[in-house]
């Protein structure tokens, strides 16, 4: 949620295998340094449709490859990053690394995924062991134990914004809301295969269609795994997931950290959420010693726990089996992997074919051993010079933000002092982390992909559990250097800008300042501003949950942001589906603030000299076009609908359009009343 781009794009298809694939080309000849003039459509008036003005030619001349649900600047760079990572993996494999070294693990993990013949030969046998264990569950107590054993560290509310897990619940280990010096346990709702409760409950035609195809998909997966009566089982599983979804919070509400701040002692669970045998659940999860938890969505815990009591043991066992099969289908024989892709890739995201296997293998290595390849990646592709220049730019942006805060007329001096303290204690990581993850407890075997992934998830989980109660490392990263994204970590008061996003077209040391500030500068400003957005405002300079705003400051902030939410509520990508201004509010605030601060930084960087022209574009015009070109995309309808319903980030078209809130944009393009994006000065949302 605090990222610059949606995580959903990376998690849709297979176990630990994202959806990003083949490459897209820019339309026309590349512009060597600066904005892409070739990608613009000059027949569109910037004041009518800024997104198409900046990207129209690229959109017209780009074909969405069959293996993609969407493409954009992020996915184009991710392709490059994947190719480089694949080359690094190939080099590592060739060098025949010593047994049990981290690099040996990379080679063995990748090769075990690529060896499709071995996967086919083993068939369902790796799965069988676990299915047999489910079959022997003979009462609700053993069920509770098995559900606990399934808990994984696979959610992340405030950094990457991962609110979905198909397990009954998800664990997030992070600094405490009230003790930011130590790691505490956050528990979040789960249990659904489909991306969000809306998929089960919405009356929209498109959701009805997906549900109608989901049940046959469940049956097909069970049948492929050798189950009898697959149809009847599928119907009961869907009914159970439907009931679970009714207890879930929607995304916009889950994003409200004040509603998430619920501390339960372990003993509280039995009284506040009766039904599940919690003692046995926590024993299965290896958390018997954990005294308390922050329960993110209490009503979901109450509802789901009650369903454990009220729904038959046989249905729960089928649910467990189906969720296990689904979670590992991507690394099981082709028949299962294909059936999973048919539904989750084609029906849910609109992709026509799977990404190339090597690319899925790279995603898998990134997920399980990301820091090992990340270390080599950073060494090879991120020079000390590039790091120093990017650090200087961040320094300028922070200075611009500080000035903006000082100049605010509506903010109380005390609030300003804390806001400035937050800027002073902000840790900004550029390129790569200072320390790397240790994977020594993760056992990787040649030709055992199922076991490797199983052990990888378990070892991630055990590492997170082992951190509980330990002092927080504020400089720890939550992204690898080869990730094309950026993130604000509110509980650590820290930012990460991985090496892979600090390259053209976002950042080019040889491009004019206007282009760099318009592209990566607005991204940096976006992340800094999360420090002060609707959620950032809840955390003080030490990362504690503390209201450091005066009532009148908060009132102004809430009025201004409500106006922005209302603006986004009016955007309708489809006649039956509008954006949710509340769900996307934090990201939309960050976009407006990021442009404002970066524009200041850009102007300051000129030191009073005129900006160089690029073609017929002035410096100010280049700045805004570069921003608009961050958001050019092509997305299939199913994927776009999924994004609107499940992503805190607005679709690219509406992100580009937010320039309408910035006075300097009107001056740069001489935008007049009557043009479609025109807002009267009083209607423009000004927050920072
Ligand atoms: Zn963001």
Q: Which is it for the CA torsion 503, 505, 511, 517, positive or negative?
A: negative
- Check residue 30 and give its pLDDT: 52
Q: CA 78, CA 20: separation in Å to the nearest integer?
A: 7
Ligand 1 centroid–CA 380 distance in Å is 28
Ligand 1 centroid–CA 519 distance in Å is 14
Tell me the pLDDT tens digit for each residue of 580-606: 999 999 999 999 999 999 999 999 999
Ligand 1 centroid–CA 136 distance in Å is 46
349-364 average pLDDT score: 94
Ligand 1 centroid–CA 16 distance in Å is 23
CB within 8 Å of 101: residues ≥ 6 apart: none
Ligand 1 centroid–CA 226 distance in Å is 44
567-584 average pLDDT score: 96
Picking from 149-158, 514-523, 536-545, 658-667, which range would have the lowest pLDDT averaged per residue? 536-545
Ligand 1 centroid–CA 642 distance in Å is 18
Ligand 1 centroid–CA 590 distance in Å is 6
- Check residue 9 and give its pLDDT: 41
Residue 193 has pLDDT above 80, yes or no: yes
Between these two residues, 547 and 351, which has the higher pLDDT value?
351
> Is the Cβ–Cβ distance between 30 and 38 less than 8 Å?
yes
Ligand 1 centroid–CA 333 distance in Å is 38
pLDDT band at 7 (very low <50, low <70, confident <90, very high): very low
Ligand 1 centroid–CA 646 distance in Å is 15
DSSP 167: S
Residues with CB under 5 A from ligand 1 (ion): 587, 590
Ligand 1 centroid–CA 583 distance in Å is 12
Q: CA 545, CA 176: separation in Å to the nearest integer?
A: 9
- Check residue 688 and give its pLDDT: 83
Strands (E), 352-486: 427-431
Ligand 1 centroid–CA 626 distance in Å is 18
C-alpha 522: how far from chain center: 19
Ligand 1 centroid–CA 192 distance in Å is 25
- Check residue 22 and give its pLDDT: 28
Closest residue by Cα to residue 174 from 499, 561, 492: 492
H or E, element range at 526: helix 522-530
Ligand 1 centroid–CA 147 distance in Å is 33
Q: CA 581, CA 252: separation in Å to the nearest integer?
A: 9
Tell me the pLDDT tens digit for each residue of 395-439: 999 999 999 999 998 899 999 999 999 999 999 999 999 999 999
Q: CA 542, CA 639: separation in Å to the nearest integer?
A: 38
Ligand 1 centroid–CA 7 distance in Å is 11
Ligand 1 centroid–CA 51 distance in Å is 19
Ligand 1 centroid–CA 485 distance in Å is 10
Ligand 1 centroid–CA 156 distance in Å is 14
Ligand 1 centroid–CA 562 distance in Å is 18
Long-range contacts of 416-424 (CB under 8 A, 24+ apart): 418/540, 418/541, 418/548, 419/532, 421/540, 421/541, 422/493, 422/531, 422/532, 422/536, 422/540, 422/541, 423/398, 423/528, 423/531, 424/541
Can you read off the two tokens belonging to residue 551?
């009532």
Ligand 1 centroid–CA 675 distance in Å is 29
Burial degree of 490 (CB within 10 A; 0-12, 13-18, 19+): buried
DSSP 649-679: SPPHHHHHGGGGG-HHHHHHHT--TTSTT--
The fraction of the chain above a pLDDT of 70, given in percent, is 96
H or E, element range at 555: helix 551-569
pLDDT band at 291 (very low <50, low <70, confident <90, very high): very high
- Check residue 532 and give its pLDDT: 83
Ligand 1 centroid–CA 456 distance in Å is 28
Ligand 1 centroid–CA 113 distance in Å is 33
Ligand 1 centroid–CA 484 distance in Å is 13
Ligand 1 centroid–CA 277 distance in Å is 39
pLDDT band at 619 (very low <50, low <70, confident <90, very high): very high
pTM (2 decimals)? 0.90
CB within 8 Å of 473: residues ≥ 6 apart: 435
Ligand 1 centroid–CA 680 distance in Å is 27
Q: CA 338, CA 507: separation in Å to the nearest integer?
A: 38
pLDDT band at 59 (very low <50, low <70, confident <90, very high): very high
The fraction of the chain above a pLDDT of 90, given in percent, is 87
pLDDT band at 496 (very low <50, low <70, confident <90, very high): very high
> Is the Cβ–Cβ distance between 604 and 34 less than 8 Å?
no
Q: CA 199, CA 344: separation in Å to the nearest integer?
A: 13
Ligand 1 centroid–CA 423 distance in Å is 17
Residue 446 has pLDDT above 90, yes or no: yes
Ligand 1 centroid–CA 527 distance in Å is 6
H or E, element range at 294: strand 292-295
Ligand 1 centroid–CA 1 distance in Å is 6
Ligand 1 centroid–CA 365 distance in Å is 25
- Check residue 31 and give its pLDDT: 57
Q: CA 499, CA 55: separation in Å to the nearest integer?
A: 25
Ligand 1 centroid–CA 489 distance in Å is 10
Tell me the pLDDT tens digit for each residue of 119-157: 999 999 999 999 999 999 999 999 999 999 999 999 999
Query: Mapping DSSP to helix (H, G, I), strand (E, B) and coil, where does residue 274 land?
Result: coil
644-660 average pLDDT score: 96
CB within 8 Å of 561: residues ≥ 6 apart: 534, 585, 589, 685, 687
Ligand 1 centroid–CA 239 distance in Å is 35
Tell me the pLDDT tens digit for each residue of 390-403: 998 999 999 999 99
First to last CA, the chain: 20
Per the prediction, the chain carries an average pLDDT of 93
Question: H/E/C letters for each residue in 81-133?
Answer: HHHHHHHHHHHHHHCCCCCCCHHHHHHHHHHHHHCHHHHHHHCCHHHHHHHHH
235-247 average pLDDT score: 98
Tell me the pLDDT tens digit for each residue of 92-113: 988 999 998 999 999 999 999 9
């Amino acid at each position: 949620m605090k990222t610059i781009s949606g995580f959903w794009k990376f998690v849709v298809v297979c176990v630990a295998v994202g959806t990003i694939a083949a490459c897209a080309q820019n339309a026309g000849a590349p512009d060597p340094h600066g904005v892409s003039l070739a990608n613009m459509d000059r027949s569109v008036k910037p004041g009518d449709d800024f997104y198409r003005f900046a990207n129209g030619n690229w959109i017209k001349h780009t074909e969405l490859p069959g293996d993609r649900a969407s493409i954009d600047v992020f996915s184009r760079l991710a392709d490059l990053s994947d190719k480089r990572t694949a080359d690094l993996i190939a080099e590592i494999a060739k060098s025949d690394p010593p047994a049990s070294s981290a690099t040996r693990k990379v080679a063995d993990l990748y090769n075990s995924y690529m060896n499709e013949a071995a996967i086919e030969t083993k068939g369902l046998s790796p799965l069988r062991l676990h299915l047999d264990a489910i079959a022997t569950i003979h009462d609700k107590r053993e069920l509770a134990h098995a559900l606990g054993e399934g808990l994984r560290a696979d959610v992340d509310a405030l950094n990457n914004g991962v609110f979905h897990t198909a397990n009954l619940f998800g664990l997030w280990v992070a600094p405490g809301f009230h003790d930011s010096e130590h790691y505490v346990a956050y528990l979040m709702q789960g249990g659904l295969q489909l991306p969000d409760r809306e998929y089960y409950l919405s009356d929209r035609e498109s959701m009805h269609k997906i549900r109608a195809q989901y049940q046959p998909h469940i049956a097909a997966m069970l049948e492929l795994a050798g189950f009898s009566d697959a149809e009847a089982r599928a119907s009961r599983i869907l009914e159970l997931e439907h009931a679970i979804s009714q207890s879930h919070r929607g995304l916009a509400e889950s994003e409200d950290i004040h509603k998430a701040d619920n501390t339960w002692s372990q003993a509280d669970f039995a009284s506040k959420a009766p039904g599940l045998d919690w003692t046995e659940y926590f024993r299965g999860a290896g958390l018997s010693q954990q005294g308390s938890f922050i329960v993110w969505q209490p009503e979901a815990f109450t509802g789901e726990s009650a369903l454990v009591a009220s729904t038959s043991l046989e249905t729960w066992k089928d649910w467990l089996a189906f969720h296990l099969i689904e979670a590992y289908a991507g690394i099981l024989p082709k028949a299962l992997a294909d059936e999973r892709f048919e539904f989750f890739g084609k029906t849910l995201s609109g992709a026509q074919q799977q990404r190339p296997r090597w690319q899925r293998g790279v995603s898998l290595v990134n997920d399980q051993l990301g820091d090992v390849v990340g270390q080599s990646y950073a060494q090879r592709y991120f020079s000390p010079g590039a790091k120093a220049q990017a650090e200087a730019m961040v320094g300028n942006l922070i200075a611009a933000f500080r000035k903006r805060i000082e100049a605010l007329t509506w903010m109380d001096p005390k609030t300003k002092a804390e806001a400035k303290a937050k800027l002073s204690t902000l840790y900004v990581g550029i390129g790569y982390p200072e320390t790397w993850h240790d994977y020594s407890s993760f056992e990787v075997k040649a030709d055992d992909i199922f076991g490797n992934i199983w052990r990888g998830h378990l070892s991630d989980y055990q590492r997170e559990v082992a951190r509980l109660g330990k002092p927080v490392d504020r400089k720890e990263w939550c992204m690898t250097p080869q990730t094309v994204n950026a993130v604000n970590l509110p509980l650590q008061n820290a930012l990460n800008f991985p090496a892979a996003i600090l390259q053209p077209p976002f950042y080019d040391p040889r491009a004019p300042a206007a282009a760099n500030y318009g592209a990566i500068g607005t991204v940096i400003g976006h992340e800094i501003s999360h420090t002060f957005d609707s959620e950032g405002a809840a955390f003080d300079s030490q990362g504690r949950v503390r209201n450091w705003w005066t009532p009148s400051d908060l009132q102004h902030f809430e009025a201004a942001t409500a106006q922005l939410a209302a603006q986004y509520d009016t955007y309708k990508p489809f006649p039956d589906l509008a954006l949710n201004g509340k769900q996307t509010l934090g990201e939309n605030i960050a976009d407006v603030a990021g442009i404002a601060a970066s524009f200041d930084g850009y102007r300051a960087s000129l030191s009073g000299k005129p900006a160089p022209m690029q073609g017929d574009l002035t410096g100010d015009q280049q700045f805004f076009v570069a921003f608009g070109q961050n958001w050019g995309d092509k997305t299939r309808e199913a994927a776009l609908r999924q994004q609107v319903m499940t992503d805190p980030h607005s679709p690219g078209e509406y992100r580009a359009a937010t320039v309408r809130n910035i006075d300097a944009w009107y001056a740069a393009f001489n935008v007049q009343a009557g043009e479609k994006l025109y807002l009267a000065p009083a209607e423009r949302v000004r927050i920072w």
